[in-house]
Structure formats: C-alpha cells, structure tokens
Homo-oligomer: A and B are copies of this chain.
Amino acid sequence: MSNTKALPVPDPADARAVAPCCPPLTERPFTAEEAETAARMFKALGDPVRLRLFSAVASHEGGEACVCDISDVGVSQPTVSHHLKKLKEAGLLASERRGTWVYYRVEPSVLAAMGKLLTGPSAAA
C-alpha cells in the first residue's frame, strides 16, 4: 500500500482563496484574519460592473466564458479583462487558457461558502 496519490496538487494561492474561511456571521464575531479573507471576496463583488461581469460568466452556457463572449456590459474589452482578473485574484473565478482566449469559470465552492457565511448552516443543503 502506498501513500503516494496521483491527485492534482492545488496552487497554494488558489487553495487559500477557495477554502471556506469563516463561520456563519451569526455564530460569533469574526477574527481580524477571517474578516480580511471574507471582506476581500465581498469587495470583489462590490463594484456594479464587476458584479455584472461575474453574473455574465456564472450564467453563460457551460458555466464558463471568455472575454470574447462578453460584449453587452458597456465597457471596453481591456476593462472586462481587468475586472475578470480582479475576480480571479479574489478567488471567485478560475481561469484556463485555451488557444487565443482565457476562459473563466465560477468557483462553485466559493459561492457556496459565501452563501453559508451569510445565511448559516441551512444554506449548505
């Protein structure tokens, strides 16, 4: 029996962002560290253009989208790219380059963790 497993090794930066950071808001006061982590995610969604882009990716066919798929938010393509990068840095989107384009996909585990943080354990169902 071997301890070696062929599991993919996650990028530590991604793992930190994706890990559910915090208890439900109603359970106990957040520590400074928990608040830093969670506030970073909320802040990323706290800009109207970024939130529209995030919902455009999240609701796109197949659950992913590239800049080439997003044209109706009223901002330039470089601005779209900038915001998608910010959402990725906050751990809300994952990305993968395929050919010419970078495709973005929502991290469902992060949304679930944020939802649970807001509404308590009942949202985990």
Question: B52–A32 contact, CB under 8 A?
Answer: yes
In the assembled complex, which residues on chain B have CB atoms less than 8 Å from the CB atom of A51? 30, 35, 38-39, 42
Contacts of A116 in B (CB 8 A): 115, 119
List of B residues within 8 angstroms of A122 by Cβ: 123, 125
Interface positions of A from 29 to 52, Cβ below 8 Å from B: 29-32, 35-36, 38-40, 42-52
19 of the cross-chain contacts (CB-CB < 8 Å) are A25-B58, A26-B55, A26-B59, A29-B55, A29-B59, A29-B72, A32-B52, A35-B48, A35-B52, A36-B48, A38-B51, A39-B50, A42-B51, A43-B43, A43-B46, A46-B46, A114-B118, A114-B119, A116-B119
